[in-house]
Amino acid sequence: RAADVYNNLVNQDPGAGILQLYNNQAIGQQVYMDSAQLAVFPHLTNFTFEYYSSNATFSGSVQAEVQFVLNNSGVFTNGFQTPGTVFYDSGWFNIFTPNDLFAGTNAAYLSFGVSELYAGGGPLVPLSIDLPQNFTVVYTIQNLTGSDMIGFPVYNPSVLGTNYGSYWQQDLANNWSLVTNNVTPIGIGMQFEAVPEPTVIALGSVGGLLMTYLIRRRKA
């Protein structure tokens, strides 16, 4: 059975507002897996994040991309090495407002696993990788038009694993800067679930087809 190696989807900060995303501006957060859990459960099978939109529906055909990136660029900002090598890339997939998926809501979890398609979008690259202890999860949005908006509710502290409460932001010249909010730490709501190495468990127990799911969330 899968177990959490990182979980920051519990302690939402209702006073922190929304970390908003903009067209083609990559936003990332460096996350640190729980080392004790990761030693036993290194093989990623499911990844979940929460997103928010105030729109009833998007005007454009909005797409998202999720990447896992090692912080090994050799370039340092504020003493931290910036994101470098991509070791997982979902590719672009269609993303819809939570209200489009569940009428009357404006936040939802998006989760995808080892071998499945995102409900309503293009094919995602299957999750079947061993996780390093720390890396940056990078999100990019495109095709927002008019009043379209999308962002992340803020969570802190994490209940398993850690982050530093800051986030990476990339400009259009592909330069990374480290952003710290002076009012409150910024934590993107994410969860990583993993299993032992497939060589030591029956592959059938991993679940060959983990269905993508969206869980309804209602915001005040």
Q: pLDDT category, 198, cuts 50, 70, 90?
A: confident
The reported pLDDT for the residue numbered 217 is 55
CA distances from 23 to 13, 150, 175 (A): 25, 10, 16
Is residue 77's pLDDT more than 80?
yes
Mean pLDDT for 128-133 is 92
Q: What is the DSSP letter of 78?
A: T
- Alpha-carbon distance 22 to 151, whole Å? 9
CB burial of 14-36 (b: ≥16 within 10 Å; e: otherwise) equals: eebebbebeeeebbbbbbbbbee
Closest CA to 33 of 152, 130, 166, 154: 130
In this structure, what DSSP letter does residue 159 have?
S
pLDDT of 5 > 80? The answer is yes
Q: What percent of the chain has pLDDT over 70?
A: 85
User: What's the CA angle centered on 52, arms 51 and 54, to 5 degrees?
Assistant: 165
Whether residue 200 is predicted with pLDDT greater than 80 in this model: the reply is no
pLDDT of residue 212: 34
- Collapsed DSSP state (helix, strand, coil) of residue 136: strand
Q: What is the pTM of this model?
A: 0.87
Residue 149: pLDDT band (50, 70, 90) is: very high
CA-angle at 45, arms to 44 and 47, nearest 5°: 85
The residue with tokens 């969330």 is: 217
Q: Which of 35-44, 97-106, 175-184, 205-214 has the lowest mean pLDDT?
A: 205-214
Pull the structure tokens for residue 193. Answer: 């679930």
